[in-house]
Amino acid sequence: MHTLTDLLIVFTLAVGVILACHRMKIPPIVGFLITGCLAGPYGLGLVKTSEDVTFLAELGVVLLLFSIGLEFSLSELIRIKRIVVLGGGLQVVLTTAAVWALVAFGFREASLALPMGFLVALSSTAIVLKTLQDRMELESAHGQMCLGILLFQDVAVVPMMLLIPLLGGSGENVFHTLGILALKSSGIFLFVFLTQRYVLPRVLHIVAATRGREVFLLTAVVFCFGVAWITSFAGLSLSLGAFLAGLVLSESEYSHQTLAQMLPFKDLFTSLFFVSVGMSLDLSFVLHHFAAVVSLGLLAVALKSIVCLIVVLVLGYPMRMAVHTGLALAQVGEFSFVLCAVCISHKILVGDHVPLFLAVSTLTMMMTPFLMAAAPRAAERVSRWPLPQKILLGFSSPSFGKEHQSVPPLANHVIIVGYGPVGRNLARAAKSAGIPYAVVEMNPSTVREEKKKGEPIIFGDASEETVLDHVAVRDAKVVCVSLADPATVRRITAAVRASAPAVYLIVRTRFLSEVKKLMALGANEVIPEELETSIEIFGRVLTKYLVPREEIEELIARVRIDGYQSVEGGHLPAIQWCDILSDLPDMEVRSHRVTPGSFLGGKTIGELGLRKTWGVTVLAVRRNGLWSPNPGPDITLRPGDVIILLGRTQDLKSFQRLLTSSSGAAKG
């Protein structure tokens, strides 16, 4: 009853706060953090203890990472392995080193230096990925960079937790512990691999065959929590296990159904996570130490942003993407709270250090949605600074020159911006049609791999004039922008039109709301996925209702010109077989199998003269499971064929009697 009361208070207060935030255009995540501050023991005291809420919040983080794993895939994880290992490793090491130097020499707190470096190095997986999902940027270049670095941080939590007791003077045999952890981790990954390969497909097939939503949902939850529990038992994080479970399940054909059923629970419990973070903030401490909290919060954000920016540049990506990533990962993360508890238990953090760290961490989390919203404008301004081209456009040490050189001389060609699934298919189509093309891609690994295959691809940001010159944009006939990130697409559209006023520019976007903006920036055609998906669906639906094809094409043309509003205009009469037969009550459609010995076997439809002699028409013939609609007079019927007949009821009955009677066979 106590837990139910706390949840009722939290959710009721959250509704009011989120509505107020919506009016003031404040991101919902900030609203949940404010809710926690108000409801928690340090605020209005509506919730005396946050233990129950914190437990449910942990479920939110688990479900969030599980859902992200479902939307991801093993092939994508392998593709960004360089980001995970090198990018994540550099970010953690450099941030830890920078904080260590600052605390040890700037604040004269040598005993706190390394533990504080661990705490600040971690970013908030929940806040960053949730914000990227809400902004539809998880699949963008900077979204993939953030995901890779965050995954490494989740793994890095484990050795940090093992090293902190050693720093506190109570750690024993840390190398023995690390060895056991490595063995356990290897066993877990082997277990998950074998489960995914041999067990999970069979179990999911059996569960799906029951057609029960409840048992399917329970199976998915058991697998998610089971893998998370196993990784936690081995000393790894719950969230890493949940992501691994989602990643494994994403390879099955049941991933979309699982994701659809998980989303409501994920949103509910993830909201509680943000509330629980807000509850840890001591408002009275913040008021008494306001200047220190704000100053340290801004310092932490600036330091982490700069380190992440440097890491992204070292990996060879453009400055614009580095700014996006730096601002997204600038906060202190939720796993830092876990490490903070370990530091407290070993008396590394004592006194005012604890509420100060919690206040600074919460402040950086609150700043995150605003920083990510400001990132496009900040990236635009930084890209105009008078910096070397290699820094602005991206470099990756010795391989940069080869990856960035011009493609072979081209003219009247098509330029493909982005080499994701859409770009790859377009490149295949151009190659098969003999059309010259060039590709611009921002992932150095992809560029390196595709160049080995002989693809005409270069590395760079297509919003930069220098990059567009490398692919001879002024001599191109068509430019196709196939990226998913709306802000990046708008920027590239404007740059292409400014560089090549005469080129035909086709742009892909996810949202119908982006069409007018992109057309205003100079796009000749904009392909919105929302609109094209709806056109494909209603076109197929109307076809099933026997609407004439020319009328469907007319409606599609109207929709593409005017948008969704044109669907409301005009009326297309739908026709179905049931409508035809109701208007012609003496007509009927029947099926008949040509049996061995039937007079139909071995004769063509023309020879039989079915319509002339018996008044029935053959609509279709099915043979060996394949249909032949509207068969011609030269088709020979064979025993085993199924024929669909149309005729008056009386004629069909007479013909049926003829087929089944011995006189019919004699007559044949």
Q: How confident is the model over 67-83, as a mean pLDDT?
A: 75
| pLDDT, tens digit (0-9, with 9 covering 90-100), for 370-414 | 999 999 889 888 888 888 877 877 764 334 444 445 566 788 899
CATH number of the domain bearing residue 661: 3.30.70.1450
Q: What percent of the chain has pLDDT over 90?
A: 22
The reply to whether 154 and 274 lie within a common domain is yes
Note the pLDDT of residue 415.
Answer: 94
Quick one: 423 and 493 in the same domain? yes
Task: Kindly state whether residue 626 falls inside one of the protein's structural domains.
Answer: yes
Query: Are 260 and 402 in the same domain?
Result: no
Three-state DSSP at 296 gives helix
213 plus 287 within the same structural domain: yes
The enclosing H or E element of 603 equals none
Residue 49 pLDDT > 50: yes
pLDDT (tens digit, 9 = 90+) per residue, 220-238?
A: 888 888 888 888 877 777 7
> Same domain for 140 and 276?
yes
pLDDT at 567: 45
Given a cut of 60, is residue 205 above it in pLDDT?
yes
Q: Which residue has the higher pLDDT, 50 or 254?
A: 254
Provide the Cα torsion 648, 654, 655, 657; round to 10°: 140
Q: For residues 60 and 103, state if they share a domain.
A: yes
Question: Is the separation of the CB atoms in 318 and 393 below 8 Å?
Answer: yes
334 compared with 416, residue with greater pLDDT:
416
603-659: pLDDT as tens digits: 888 888 888 888 888 888 988 878 888 888 888 888 888 888 888 888 888 888 777
Using an 8 Å Cβ cutoff, are 259 and 71 in contact? yes
Q: Under a CB-based contact definition with an 8 Å cutoff, are residues 413 and 475 in contact?
A: yes
Please state at what angle helix 110-121 crosses helix 353-382, rounded to 10 degrees.
50
Coil/strand/helix, residue 15: helix
Tokens (6 digits) for 334: 């939720």
The C-alpha atoms of residue 77 and residue 84 are separated, in whole angstroms, by: 9
Ramachandran bin of 429, using left for φ above 0, alpha for ψ from -120 to 50, beta for the remaining angles: alpha
In this structure, is residue 326 part of a structural domain? yes
- Of 466, 492, 509, the residue at which a domain comes to its end is 509
pTM check: above 0.95? no
Band the pLDDT of 94: cuts 50, 70, 90.
very high
Q: Which residue has the higher pLDDT, 394 or 104?
A: 104
- Read off the pLDDT of residues 280-297 as tens digits, 9 standing for 90 and up: 888 889 999 999 999 999
Examine the domain organization and report whether 137 and 203 are in the same domain: yes
- Among 334, 360, 382, identify where a domain stops: 382
pLDDT at 192 over 80: no
For residues 369 and 452, state if they share a domain: no
In terms of domains, do 80 and 174 share one?
yes
Tell me, yes or no, whether 169 lies in a domain.
yes
Q: What is the CATH number of the domain that holds 463?
A: 3.40.50.720
Average pLDDT, the chain: 82
22-31, 162-171, 545-554: which is most confident = 22-31
Of 219 and 551, which is predicted with more confidence? 219
Q: Is the pLDDT of residue 100 over 50?
A: yes
293 belongs to a structural domain: yes
Which of the residue ranges 120-124, 263-267, 418-422 would you say has the lowest mean pLDDT?
263-267
Q: Is the dihedral of CA 65, 66, 69, 71 positive or negative?
A: negative
Residue 58: closest CA among 224, 236, 217, 239:
239
pLDDT value at 70 more than 60: yes
> Is the confidence at residue 104, as pLDDT, over 80?
yes
**Is a pLDDT exceeding 50 seen at residue 344?**
yes
Spell out the residues 6+ positions from residue 660 whose beta carbon is closer than 8 angstroms to its own.
none
Question: What CATH number does residue 123 fall under?
Answer: 1.20.1530.20
Q: How many structural domains comprise the chain?
A: 3
Residues 6+ apart with CB under 8 A from 71: 138, 246, 250, 259
Higher-confidence residue: 2 or 513? 513
* Boundary-marking domain end, from 471, 487, 509: 509
When pLDDT is cut at 50, 70 and 90, the band that residue 258 belongs to is confident
447-472 per-position pLDDT tens digit: 888 888 889 998 888 888 888 888 99
My answer on whether 361 and 406 are in the same domain is no
How far apart CA 159 and CA 441 sit, in angstroms, is 36
Domain that holds residue 452: 396-509
Q: What is the mean pLDDT of residues 199-228?
A: 82
247 against 651, higher pLDDT: 651
What confidence score (pLDDT) does residue 414 get?
Answer: 94
255 with 326, same domain: the answer is: yes
State the Cα–Cα distance between residues 318 and 441, nearest whole angstrom.
11
Instruction: Give domain status of residue 181, yes or no.
Output: yes
Asked whether residue 462 falls in the same domain as residue 610, the answer is no
Q: In this structure, is residue 539 part of a structural domain?
A: no
The predicted structure's pLDDT at residue 309: 95
291 domain residue, yes or no: yes
Does residue 70 belong to any structural domain of this protein? yes
